[in-house]
Structure 1
Amino acid sequence: MKNIDVLRNEAMHFSNLNSNQVSKLKIIGKGTDANVYRINKNLLLKLYKLPQSNIKSSNDEIIKTDKPQKFINTFKFQSRCYNEEGLRLGYKDLIEMANIKQEKINLTYLPLAPCYIDNSFRGCILKNCRPNIPIDFFKFLPERKKLIIIQKILMKFKELIANNIYPYDLYNKIDSDHQHNNIIIDFKLEPTIIDLDGKSTAYTESFNETYYYDSTFGISCLTLEFLFNQDMIDFFDEPFELKDYYQDFYKGKIDYEDVDKLINTNIEFEYIEEFINKRIKKNRY
Structure 2
Amino acid sequence: MVLGGVIAACLGGALVYFLLPQVFAPDTAWRDQVVDTQEAQAGRIDALDAKLAELPPPAEMPDLGRLETGQEELRATLEELTGQIATLQSRLGALESRPVAEGSGVSEGQITDLQAALDAQRAALAEQKQRIDTLISAADAREAKAESAATATLQQAALTRIRTALDTGAPFEDALADLAQTGADVPDDLRAAAADGVPTLATLQAEFPPAARVALRDARKERADAGEGETGVMAFIGEQLGARSLEPREGDDPDAVLSRAEAALREGRLADALAEIEALPPSGQAALQSWVDSARARMNATDAADALSAQLN
Give the TM bin, normalised by the shorter chain.
under 0.3
Q: With structure 1 as the length reference, what TM-score do the two structures score? A: 0.22
Q: With structure 2 as the length reference, what TM-score do the two structures score? A: 0.21
Q: Which has the higher helix share?
A: 2
